[in-house]
Structure 1
Amino acid sequence: MKEIPVKLWLFIMVMTVIKVIIASTIALGNDEVYYWTYALNLEWSYFDHPPFVAWLIRTTTANLYIHNELAVRLGAIISSTIGTIIVYKIGKLLLNNRVGWWAVLLYSSSFYCSIIAGTFILPDGPQMVFWLWSIFLLLKITKSVHQGLPTLSLWCWFGVATGLCMMCKIHGVYLWVAVVLFALFSNRKLMAQKGMYFSALISLIMVSPFIIWNIQHHFITYTYHSNRVSLFHAGINPLAFAREISGQIFYNNPIVFFLAWIAVFSFIKTKHHLKSEIQLLLYCALPLIATLVFLSIFRDTLPHWSGPAYSCLIFLSALKLESFTLSKVKAIIAASMLFFLFVVSAGLIAINFYKGTLSPQKDPMHLGTGDPTLDLYGWKETGRIVDSVYHADNKLSQRNKTVRTIVITKWFPAAHLDFYVCIRTGLQTYGLGEIFDLHQYYWSNQNKQKLSVGDNAYYIVPSNLYDENSINFIKSQFKNCKPPIIAPVFRNGVICKNILLFRLNGYKR
């Protein structure tokens, strides 16, 4: 660590403070709180993703002892710190300390790298550590092969890094796609490297628990994700394509995005001067980006899926800055950091202090529909509301069967109810419905007390997520469903959404 400059440590400290503030002042998002439920029951894989994010949450919450947003998100913040150090080392390995420093600044001004994968607790957080570590090892292997140095140990570590990357998120397989393409088209010497085959075996061994779990569960992870990206029966979807491109631009910071592509086209244009390291970075980035852009022509995709690929292009951007004047470099980096800070500040203010809701929908049963800030606001208040209703109902339990269950039909807002309501009240969630709506809740039911015929329950949903089909299905499962209690949640003195609590009597089956 002696080779890490003081200014980098100071910069990491400042960024960490910013991330801690964000992590402490807004509620967990839909995906984050869902991944927290993974940690409740550790397995070798889950419906949507491999298990590493569950292990990380279990660790940072001290085996679930600490119950707050910062503890849940701490793994992402730690991962971001480690990733930032690796970014500096990669830039330095590519050329010099200056390129490493510029890469750090560009990386840190990316919303994907610093917020989505660096503050929010998603599989992307730990994935980026192992993705970047894999890139660093590949670059060292490339240099060692060129210099005639031994590479076996580097290959073995690469197998470990890629295996762990795939145990975070299956996107890590694109690292091996890059290796194969690089070996076939740019550096045939790699094909003679025994270490490469040992490395592949190590990766396979490390992901084998994930594979075995999927075999035991009829490849549900593959089925789910293939349904999300399948082209069968799908026509051209220009809106999905536009969302993917605009999402890539915004998530990676527009300045970082366009600088990255300027660098890509610049290096490709002068391909006879391409260093093998630059070719390798292109192989690590372009196949994943191209795959997602192609799929988005037909189906909905999520722009953050391409985040790891753009982290590779950031190094090309840093190298490209070497050809700019120092004043121009400072202007570009300052603009990217200022834009990052402006958006983060605006987002925090909007989530916590916007008066009411951004949604034009004012009907009490649908208030807040379409307002994305409400996914991150009002859940502690929801816990207090349900707790007060639950305790009031318990006083009447001599006349009515005691409620112990909140029935859910979808994984969201079920996970929010688990984190903010069930921990407080002692209630449990129980899933009713189809597996592709319930996700991991389809199996977590096995660890919960089953609903018995005649049981009473609650159905709770915020008005911004209210769905007539879901409540009609719930009504069909119970003998009686009373009109909902409508409890307001305020933001800056104005109602932003309502909590709808339905009392259900007499479970039928």
Structure 2
Amino acid sequence: MKKITESNAAAYTLILIAVTFLIRIWIAAYTGLGIGESYYFRGALNLNLSYFDQPPLFFWLSGVSVKLLGLNNLGLRFPAVLLFAGTSWLLFLITRRFFNVRAGFWAVVMMNLSAVFTIAIACWFQPDAPLMFFWLASAYVMVQIMFDPQNDKPNVNYHTKKIYLLWILVGILMGLATLSKYHVIFLFAGVFIFVGTNRNQRHWLTHPGPYLAIVIAFIFALPVLLWNYHNNWVSFVFQGSRAGTGEKFQLHPEWFLRSIAGQALWLLPWVWYPLVVQLVKSYKNRSKQVYSFNFWIAILPLVFFTVVTLWSNLQYHFHWQAPGYMMLFIPLGYAIDQKLNGPVKEGRGTRRLIRFSVCFTVITIGVLSLHMVTGFWQWYGPKWIVKTAHGDNVDPTIQGVDYDDIKVRFEKEGWLNNPRIFTGATRWWLTGKVDWAMRGQKPIICFSDDPRNLAFLVDPNKLIGQDAVLIGQEHEESINADAKPFFDEVKQLPDIAIMRSGRDELHLQVYYCRNFHLPKTPRNDLPLYHQLTGRPPFGK
């Protein structure tokens, strides 16, 4: 590659976006859906005002996409791939505006080298892709308003038609971000803190524009509010409970350390550390408005979702801090540009780090994607790596394989075309994998106290008297406890072997269950029982 200059940086950025877009199209099309994606997928077929886990926008976008591209992996994921290309360009535009065009290029490079951004956010059927796009789109328009060079002139008029139109656009974009993920509250709060802590921006606190934007964003959020109003505010209760303390408050420093380590690993340590350095630098330089803007928008999701792990087990959701890290790629791009055009020694070290990052990311993604599709590591790779990653010797990447062998078994047994047979499981994530394997062709029930959005997609009262084929993954105890009471008889049949490139990698248990009915003993701990007794699945 030629040296990045003011004249070629924009062109190279577009080339980078185009190349990575095509690579991600291949990854999106040929790798299987993960457990979260499989669980979400039926929502794209059942368009609603909102959903249990998330606001509706990514469901709506993929619902349109599968109409155009078909009900397949690419059809579900294409909106994410397309939106991330736009996110990369918006990052370039903001960085160029704050610093220079070279910095914009390097900001995009580093974001595309970060593991959580370049695959999980950029490829997967998740709410994060629209959140990141509309988050940055909102920020970009606000930059046009707040960092307009005309603002430094005396007697500037802040009540022009252009300014009001821009604030209206901010409201629309923030409304779309609100329909993407609840994280957008940190964007609202960060912008207001930035305005309040900078003397040159405080006039916006008394300007109608920001409040007009809030009203418009609220109007966009009405589908979420209306759905929750009719469903006992269950989405807000569920998400809020994740930050709760449980029955007894207790500090867990191990969860906190796991969160930090997980963030570093997801971003890649050599990308995470410079981002943290830029967070500190942005704080120290917050007297400069470009740094202040980035700091206040970045700090809130980073601190909240990290500190809350001291008492709340957020498990492996290390991507929840991602919007904050995204903002830090802006000053990081400028820092890289300074080093590359500074002392020779610093420039040489930075080039080596970038080359290493490019090689590591490309090779790792290539190897993992190839293995996920073919399973070649199980044939040729050291088995101790799998055992270390997953103690029961089940390759964890098998979760990224579509369990199509389930559908093959259903077709062989004649269950698929039998309208008197439905299916399900006793875990929300396995129910999702089963549902995607069947491509939503069968009614599906999650026999669990935690069915999540699955409880809203099928009316179990319509299945009374039918038989069911339930799938388990070493879940015999929960089958007996939570599914068996709803049937006259539960009989275990031969397992389904999940195959990858001719290798038997995972066995799923199969249970044939006769005559679905209301259990004799009340099961008020199960949302399914609530529905069968005429109540909402969640709540009293």
Question: Normalising to structure 1: TM-score of the pair?
Answer: 0.88
Aligned residue in 1 for 2:265: 250
Q: Is the 8 A contact 1:431 1:445 kept in 2?
A: no
Which 10-residue stretch deviates more, 189-198 or 84-93?
A: 189-198
- 1:17 matches 2:32: no
Deviation for aligned residue 1:367 = 6.7
- 2:425 pairs with 399, 405, 408, which one? 408
Deviation for aligned residue 1:157 = 1.2
Aligned residue in 1 for 2:72: 68
Q: Distance in 2 between matches of 1:90 and 1:467?
A: 54
- 1:333 matches 2:349: no
**Amino acid in structure 2 at the alignment position of 1:348:** S
Deviation for aligned residue 1:248 = 1.2
Aligned residue in 2 for 1:81: 85
Matched-pair identity in %? 21
Q: Distance in 2 between matches of 1:30 and 1:218?
A: 27
Aligned residues: 485
Aligned residue in 2 for 1:384: 408
Which 10-residue stretch deviates more, 483-492 or 212-221?
A: 483-492
Q: Distance in 1 between matches of 2:109 and 2:439?
A: 41
User: SS at 1:42's partner residue?
Assistant: coil
**Amino acid in structure 1 at the alignment position of 2:458:** N
**Amino acid in structure 2 at the alignment position of 1:501:** V
Q: Is the 8 A contact 1:28 1:376 kept in 2?
A: yes
Which 10-residue stretch deviates more, 327-336 or 54-63?
A: 327-336
User: SS at 1:61's partner residue?
Assistant: helix
1:200-255 Cα shifts (integer Å, max 9, x gaps): 11111111221122112111011101111102523122332122111211222222
From the superposition, tell whether residues 433 and 405 of structure 1 become closer, same or farther in structure 2 (CA, over 3 Å).
Answer: same
Deviation for aligned residue 1:155 = 1.7
1:72-122 Cα shifts (integer Å, max 9, x gaps): 110110001111111111111112110111111011112222211111110
Aligned residue in 2 for 1:289: 302
Question: Normalising to structure 2: TM-score of the pair?
Answer: 0.84
Q: Is the 8 A contact 2:104 2:334 kept in 1?
A: no
**Amino acid in structure 2 at the alignment position of 1:7:** Y
Aligned residue in 2 for 1:6: 11
Q: Distance in 2 between matches of 1:244 and 1:133?
A: 28
Q: Distance in 2 between matches of 1:81 and 1:149?
A: 36
From the superposition, tell whether residues 108 and 254 of structure 1 become closer, same or farther in structure 2 (CA, over 3 Å).
Answer: same
Cα RMSD, aligned residues only: 2.6
Gapped regions of structure 1 (runs ≥ 5) = none
Q: Distance in 1 between matches of 2:179 and 2:436?
A: 25
Q: Distance in 2 between matches of 1:128 and 1:82?
A: 10
Aligned residue in 2 for 1:175: 187
Written as runs of structure 1 = structure 2, the 5 A alignment for 1:321-470 is 321-326=336-341, 327-328=347-348, 329-352=350-373, 353=375, 354-355=377-378, 371-390=395-414, 403-421=420-438, 423=440, 426-434=441-449, 437-446=450-459, 450-453=462-465, 455-463=466-474, 466=475, 468-470=477-479
Aligned residue in 2 for 1:185: 197
Deviation for aligned residue 1:340 = 1.7
From the superposition, tell whether residues 269 and 180 of structure 1 become closer, same or farther in structure 2 (CA, over 3 Å).
Answer: closer
- 1:260 pairs with 271, 275, 283, which one? 275
Q: Is the 8 A contact 1:30 1:416 kept in 2?
A: yes
Deviation for aligned residue 1:359 = 5.9
From the superposition, tell whether residues 378 and 431 of structure 1 become closer, same or farther in structure 2 (CA, over 3 Å).
Answer: closer
From the superposition, tell whether residues 82 and 289 of structure 1 become closer, same or farther in structure 2 (CA, over 3 Å).
Answer: same
Aligned residue in 2 for 1:94: 98
Deviation for aligned residue 1:382 = 2.6
Aligned residue in 2 for 1:125: 129
User: SS at 2:339's partner residue?
Assistant: coil
Deviation for aligned residue 1:339 = 2.3
Q: Distance in 2 between matches of 1:105 and 1:149?
A: 38
User: SS at 1:50's partner residue?
Assistant: coil
Aligned residue in 1 for 2:538: none
From the superposition, tell whether residues 119 and 500 of structure 1 become closer, same or farther in structure 2 (CA, over 3 Å).
Answer: same
Written as runs of structure 1 = structure 2, the 5 A alignment for 1:138-177 is 138-144=142-148, 145-146=151-152, 148=156, 150=158, 151-177=163-189
User: SS at 1:27's partner residue?
Assistant: coil
Gapped regions of structure 2 (runs ≥ 5) = 1-6, 342-346, 519-540
User: SS at 1:300's partner residue?
Assistant: coil
User: SS at 1:224's partner residue?
Assistant: helix
Q: Distance in 2 between matches of 1:485 and 1:470?
A: 16
Q: Distance in 1 between matches of 2:253 and 2:408?
A: 43
**Amino acid in structure 2 at the alignment position of 1:282:** F
Q: Distance in 2 between matches of 1:270 and 1:412?
A: 45
Q: Distance in 1 between matches of 2:273 and 2:363?
A: 19
Aligned residue in 1 for 2:114: 110
**Amino acid in structure 1 at the alignment position of 2:332:** S
Q: Distance in 2 between matches of 1:495 and 1:416?
A: 17
User: SS at 2:338's partner residue?
Assistant: coil
Deviation for aligned residue 1:141 = 2.0
Q: Distance in 1 between matches of 2:367 and 2:253?
A: 29
Deviation for aligned residue 1:276 = 0.7
- 1:300 matches 2:300: no
From the superposition, tell whether residues 360 and 314 of structure 1 become closer, same or farther in structure 2 (CA, over 3 Å).
Answer: closer
User: SS at 1:122's partner residue?
Assistant: coil
Q: Distance in 2 between matches of 1:137 and 1:270?
A: 23
From the superposition, tell whether residues 267 and 417 of structure 1 become closer, same or farther in structure 2 (CA, over 3 Å).
Answer: closer
